[in-house]
Structure 1
Amino acid sequence: MPSSTSSSRGPRPGRVPLLAAVAVTVAAGSLAAVGLNGGPTASAAPTVPASSAPSVTDSSAVSSSASRSGQWQRTPVPVTKGDLTAIAALGDKQAWAVGYRLKSATALEAVALRWDGTSWAQESTLPENSFPQALTVRSADDIWAVGTATEHWDGKTWTTRPLDRDPAGRVVPEAVTTTADGQAWTVGRAMARSIKDSVPAIQTWDGRSWHRQPLPDVGKGELNGVTAVAPDDVWAVGASYAVDEKSPQTALLLHWDGTTWKRVDVDGPAAGHAWLGGITAFAADDIWAVGGRTSGSAERPYTVHWDGAKWSAAETPDVADGRLRAVGRAGGGELWAVGGKGAAPVALRWNRQDKRWDRAAGPGVVVRGFATVPKSAGLWVAGIAEQGDLVPAITRMKG
């Protein structure tokens, strides 16, 4: 789950799940009660010429067209207390979610749930001391979950696959994706002592083991999202930390061309601090990444688009605490972005006719994971309920 930490390097997004944040404490035999982390704060969006980015409306009200597109509905889950952190779907009758069950004041159990088209049921438990926070599903017997460990599901068993060693320190994966040929990519950070000393980290799975990828020197930072157009066209996004109190944190975008990773900048700087937390590719020349911007004490959504030649920032609705965490396109062509801070979920929908973002009805849960459904207008959001004490929740929009 995205969270944030303030330091002399400026705010950073992070993606530590609520319960995974206390993993060390649990392992030591005691569970401390924690609340939702606060987030970075941001200012008004940068002004972008219409020729360089899609235009966006500046409206905080839910649009009537968005409200007519469907309604979010809660679906019961077989976990009464805990946290659901990621979700993915292969179709209307096949979806998976991972997260944690709080078994007692001192014990957590990582679980995988499966949707069969009618209901959610627990399919399996993950190995002990695993805290999954990202998920990718290539098929029912080829699933990766990453967090404090990196694990693969072959349809019967979860197997831990250790990451390659990184000279920068312990690797913490934040996101994972697979390509059509089965190659997997995971991105995150490597840190020797603390988060503020982290550097971006990327590893790839060759069918037998994980291998560390050489990256350009971008300084301290992290990666929070990854998407693959093809085996030789992969994008990773995150943040480069501020080097001092006077310089901003900046959005980080890295591209793999089949040979090397290179940094690619957004056309035009964002005002204040900026970071990216989610990315989805629809084609080699149609990719969206989302995150947040801060300046002073205000936080706003941040979105950028790749047209095959450049990344351009698009203005977003003026939504307080509206940082975005995931983006995706439903089978019907609708482009959605979701996020929010704490118990204030936010959903935006791209208005193709008017070329603008409209605010839509929120999913009704604290957003941890988001998934579109192939060949369907449906959407899934996993997380915890806005009310209650760590009540896992999944909402669905049928479209």
Structure 2
Amino acid sequence: MPSTNSLPRRRPGRIPLLLASLAGTVVTGALVLTGINGGPAASAAATVPTSSDTAPASSASRADGWQATQVPVKKGDLTAIAALSDKQAWAVGYRLKSATALEAVALRWDGTSWTQESTLPENSFPQALAVRSATDIWAVGSASVHWDGSKWTTHQLARDPGGHVVPDAVTTTSDGKAWTVGRAMSRSIKDGVPAIQSWDGTSWQRQTLPDVGTGELSSVTAVAPDDIWAAGAAYAADATSPQTALLLHWDGTSWKRVTVPGPQKSHNWLGGVTAFASDDIWAVGGSTSGSADRPLAVHWNGTAWTAAKTPDVADGRLRAVGKAANGDLWAVGGKGPATVALRWNGKTNQWDTASTPGIVVRSFTTVPKSADLWAAGISEQGDLVPAITRLKG
């Protein structure tokens, strides 16, 4: 996500400008995936979609097993997906009701099909999910909303001296807390500063962060209540300085910045971070020099962060990373229809290219106790056609 001071921004999973303009607010996206805490999900009384509002599934699956599934939204966007099991998964996004009206929706997978479970509060515009159980789900975007199994409730974020808080990602911890990360901005994205808030069971609390200048946080993952990582980018201080990848760590007492290895004299950023253990954490993003992008992936072994070898692929901006139950490690991203998927090769200790989900990916998730993968977003063809594809492991 290069600095707005130098290069065009490459936000992970940003919703189409049409939807943002209709919403009348600044909305960003984040990718959700299963890490050490399991994954996201949701559940309640499902509403069976009518055939007129069901986007058709592709008639053919991809050669490696990625297969389209029908979704009960004919036109709109799906921005986040998460799973509790192979029979419980949730996705959130938007239905475009007219040229000037949007409706935020939550979909549920029951092991056979996707149905609409609920609509979210007006102006919530969800971008990320965190699910502890089918009756304990957080969705964040232009607002923070919680699902208790029967209804969504809006909870206001705490005020931030940096300005209006726009969350990009959310996670939960074993002590019952939720954490959301993003940015606070007074006038525009250009003057945004990283922002983190925690839910204490009653209200959101602003976190004190080290001064990194302008920037943003795009992803968060928790190993334990006292071991949390947030990833994003610190913007370039001036036109001659590079943007740098940003990693912050919570040790139960304070947030500290951690140095991220990566190409020098390049604009680096991180779009996703996921913990599998306290000594096994991956963060992924991209590196831009001139007009060329390439994937960036770094690994924490409990002692140090090191950069991993990635293939030189066009528009190789990684936005999420996750590990399937069979041990396969995946990273997904891209720019618009130029989707990128990588799989870790343990024999050569490098990332190799893999077949992609075949959609414009907004979100990607693994499935606990399963080798399956899900990807959600919009179709590569058509005008704002929501799409969800699955890779059966």
Q: Indicate the TM-score class for this superposition, using the shorter chain for normalisation.
A: 0.7 to 0.9
Is 1:226 matched with 2:220?
yes
The residue that corresponds to 1:199 in the other structure is 193
Task: Name the structure 2 match of 1:114.
Answer: 108
Aligned to 2:283, which of 263, 273, 289? 289
Q: Deviations over 1:302-344 (max 9, x none)?
A: 1111111111111211100110110000011100000111111
1:234-263 CA distances to partner (integer Å, 9 max, x unpaired)?
000000000111100000000000000000
- Kindly tell me: are residues 294 and 354 of structure 1, through their superposed partners in 2, closer, same or farther at Cα, counting changes over 3 Å? same
Matched, 1:314 2:311: no
Match of 1:365 among 359, 365, 387: 359
CA contact (8 A) 2:2 2:269 kept: no
Q: How far apart are residue 137 of structure 1 and its match?
A: 1.0
Find the counterpart in structure 1 of residue 144 from structure 2: 150
1:90 alignment counterpart: 84
Q: Which of 7, 14, 19 is the matching residue for 2:4? A: 7
Is the alpha carbon distance of 1:360 and 1:144 closer, same or farther for their aligned partners in structure 2, counting shifts above 3 Å?
Answer: same
**Residue 8 (structure 1) shift:** 2.2
Checking the alignment, whether the CA contact within 8 Å between 2:163 and 2:185 is kept in structure 1 is yes
Residue aligning to 1:298: 292
Hey, what's the Cα distance between the residues in 1 that align with 2:136 and 2:274?
20
Q: Which amino acid aligns with 1:325?
A: R
1: CA distance, partners of 2:71 / 2:89:
13
CA distance in 1, matches of 2:136, 2:130: 9
Whose relative contact order is higher, 1 or 2, with alpha carbons under 8 Å and at least 6 apart?
Answer: 1
Distance 2:285 2:255 in 1: 21
1:104 lines up with 2:101 in the alignment: no
Decide whether aligned partners of structure 1 residues 258 and 5 sit closer, same or farther in structure 2, where only a CA change above 3 A counts: closer
Q: Offset at 1:354?
A: 2.2
| 1:173 alignment counterpart | 167
Supply the distance in 1 between the matched residues of 2:191 and 2:113 (Cα, whole angstroms).
Answer: 43
Deviation at residue 397 of structure 1 after TM alignment: 0.6
Equivalent position SS for 1:266:
coil
> In 1, distance between residues paired with 2:129 and 2:18?
18
Partner in structure 1 of residue 377 of structure 2: 383
Give the structure-2-normalised TM-score.
Answer: 0.88
- Structure 1 residues 225, 311: CA separation in 2 closer, same or farther (over 3 Å shift)? same
Question: Runs of 5+ in structure 1 lacking a partner?
Answer: 29-36, 38-66
Aligned to 2:387: 393
**Contact kept? 2:13, 2:361, Cα under 8 Å:** no
The CA RMSD measured in Å over matched residues stands at 1.8
Percent identity between matched residues is: 72
User: What amino acid maps onto 2:15 in structure 1?
Assistant: L
- Segments of 5+ residues of structure 2 without an aligned counterpart are 30-61
2:344 to 346, 350, 356: 350
Post-superposition CA distance 1:135-166 (Å, at most 9, x none): 11110000000000100000000000100000
State TM-score, norm by structure 1.
Answer: 0.86
Contact 1:10 1:241 in 2 (8 A): no
Are 1:73 and 2:70 counterparts?
A: no
Distance 1:353 1:6, change over 3 A: closer
Distance 1:21 1:283 in 2: 40
- The 5 Å alignment of 1:225-304 reads 225-267=219-261, 269-304=263-298
CA offsets per residue over residues 181-206 of structure 1, 9 Å max, x none? 22100000000001010000000001
- Secondary structure of 2:190's match? helix
Amino acid at match of 1:140: A
Q: Is residue 2:331 matched to residue 1:337?
A: yes
Counterpart contact for 2:177–2:199, Cα < 8 Å: yes
Aligned length: 358
1:276–1:5 CA distance, 2 compared to 1 (3 A): closer
> Is 1:13–1:277's contact at 8 Å kept on the other side of the alignment?
no
